[in-house]
């Protein structure tokens, strides 16, 4: 079978409603904000959101869930139709509806309706279609929201877990995962609730995760720690693996856990190792939050958008536009940055202090080869960009293929263009380009005696020729 492989999601569906508006005044009868509504959106939450996210990109997803005859259940069916295949368990009662009221994109209050008391309504008995769907899965995700769908299907889950990767996203009011789960994904608060104790250090969470893995007889427990990333632990201790978030994703975190769990399970379905699956999931969850989270209207268009591959937070044009919109100064610099050295770091730090963001225009591999000759670049463009993006002074990187970045600068329109070294402003070909929109080119002092060429020559002189038959480098 080629392409994305089949994923079965088992769990509790909710109906989420976002009431968007603006609040510019208080009510006359109470110190409460008045929200003038501008938009009202409804979409599946819980396991329904996880299934819809997993189905982006064309993956076949089957959702096993409990739905009733109420209006909320029908709204969920309409939203999921054409995205996932529903295998329904009868629901005795009404589907919960969770309404967030937001002002300026920030939640003011959440209102929960329907669903009755905790433990109610109750899913009915699963039929043969549930067993068949699980037997045909390449991986299973249990999205437990404490409404007992997982409990109703538990014996079928126990039957498939010995041969099928299973990810269990737990809930404080839900049941323990079935023994043998490949990964269990509690968040930090859930891990603290399940394993009370002092401390929120990585060591404390590593100990909690290891104890939970032993308790649940799970192959691994991945504790999600928000902006710190995810900590993967195993039973009986051992060194945990931390998968850090690729960047700080400012945005709506609602649904990030569902995105993380869905991406993890989908990667396991395609044959990824748990460590690889978690790396993909952390990156996708960060991009999901940056794009607006579960409230992003693009998620629920008739034709779902493909997964976001480049985070808006690091897109150079988006960075420049955001800084300009708030009246800030956009600074850009450029170069090959083949072997990053102290001279580069000093230049970049000085350039960043000039304005409110720094965008590096980076020569592509072909551009470097034309400028520097055979043997260059030493490092490919993906590696050079990644090293630059890791610096605190650099906000974004834009790659160009030409000999000079003039065409790229015309699109970026920075306020200041920075070069280091022995140039004069009059010698910079970019100076005239910047004058077209009132920008300024400047030259900064360069740290003497540092250059990529000198470093490469020094490394070549220091290399010791290896004797035939000797150890390899």
Residues annotated catalytic, as ranges:
258
What's the token pair of residue 459?
Answer: 């490394």
Q: Which tokens belong to 392?
A: 């605190």
What's the Cα-to-Cα distance from 449 to each of 200, 454, 455, 459, rounded to whole Å?
A: 46, 8, 10, 15
**Terminal Cα-to-Cα distance of the chain (whole angstroms):** 41
SS3 198: coil
298 with 41: CB under 8 angstroms? Answer: no
Reduce the DSSP state of residue 188 to 3 states and report it: helix
Sheet holding 33-46, edge to edge: 33-46, 13-26, 97-103, 106-113
Pseudo-torsion of CA 115, 174, 4, 246, nearest 10°? 100
Peptide bond into 463 cis (omega under 30): no
- Percent of the chain as helix, strand, coil, to the nearest 5: 35, 25, 40
| CB-based burial label for 443 (10 Å; 0-12, 13-18, 19+) | middle
Provide the CA 467 distance to its chain's centre, in angstroms: 49
Between CA 20 and CA 4 the distance in angstroms is 35
Q: How many residues does the chain have?
A: 473
d(CA 466, CA 464): 6
């Amino acid at each position: 079978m080629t392409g994305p492989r089949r994923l079965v999601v088992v769990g509790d569906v909710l109906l989420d409603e976002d009431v968007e508006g603006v609040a510019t005044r208080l009510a006359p009868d109470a110190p409460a904000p008045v929200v003038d509504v501008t938009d009202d959106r409804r979409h599946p939450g819980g396991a329904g959101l996880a299934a819809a996210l997993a189905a982006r990109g064309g993956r076949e997803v089957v959702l096993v869930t409990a739905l009733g005859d109420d209006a909320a259940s029908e709204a969920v069916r309409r939203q999921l139709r054409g995205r996932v295949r529903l295998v329904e368990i009868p629901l005795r009662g009404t589907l919960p509806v969770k309404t967030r009221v937001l002002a300026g994109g920030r939640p003011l209050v959440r209102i929960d309706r329907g669903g009755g008391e905790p433990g109610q309504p109750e899913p009915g008995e699963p039929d043969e279609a549930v067993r068949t769907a699980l037997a045909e899965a390449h991986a299973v995700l249990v999205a437990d929201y404490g409404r007992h769908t997982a409990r109703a299907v538990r014996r079928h889950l126990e039957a498939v877990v010995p041969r099928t990767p299973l990810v269990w996203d737990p809930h404080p009011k839900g049941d323990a995962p079935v023994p043998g789960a490949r990964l269990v994904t509690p968040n930090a608060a859930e891990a603290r609730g399940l394993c009370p104790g002092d401390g929120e250090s990585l060591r404390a969470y590593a100990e909690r995760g290891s104890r939970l893995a032993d308790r649940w007889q799970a192959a691994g427990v991945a504790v999600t720690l928000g902006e710190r990333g995810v900590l993967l632990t195993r039973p009986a201790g051992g060194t945990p693996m931390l998968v850090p978030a690729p960047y700080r994703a400012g945005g709506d975190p609602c649904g990030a856990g569902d995105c993380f769990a869905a991406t993890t399970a989908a990667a396991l379905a395609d044959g990824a190792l748990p460590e690889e699956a978690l790396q993909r999931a952390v990156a996708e969850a960060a991009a999901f939050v940056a794009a607006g989270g579960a409230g992003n209207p693009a998620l629920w268009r008739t034709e779902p958008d493909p997964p976001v591959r480049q985070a808006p937070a690091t897109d150079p044009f988006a960075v420049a536009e955001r800084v300009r919109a708030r009246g800030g100064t956009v600074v850009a610099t450029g170069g090959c940055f083949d072997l990053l050295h102290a001279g580069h770091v000093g230049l970049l730090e000085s350039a960043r202090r000039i304005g409110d963001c720094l965008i590096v225009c980076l020569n592509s591999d072909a551009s470097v080869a034309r400028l520097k000759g055979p043997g260059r670049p030493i490092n490919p463009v993906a590696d050079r960009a990644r090293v630059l993006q890791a610096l605190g002074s650099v906000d974004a990187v834009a790659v160009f293929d030409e000999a000079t970045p003039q065409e790229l600068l015309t699109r970026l329109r920075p306020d200041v263009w920075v070069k280091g070294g022995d140039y004069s402003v009059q010698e910079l070909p970019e100076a005239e380009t910047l004058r077209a929109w009132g920008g300024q080119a400047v030259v900064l002092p360069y740290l003497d005696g540092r250059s990529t060429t000198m470093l490469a020559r020094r490394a070549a002189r220091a290399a010791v020729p290896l004797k035939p038959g000797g150890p390899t480098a």
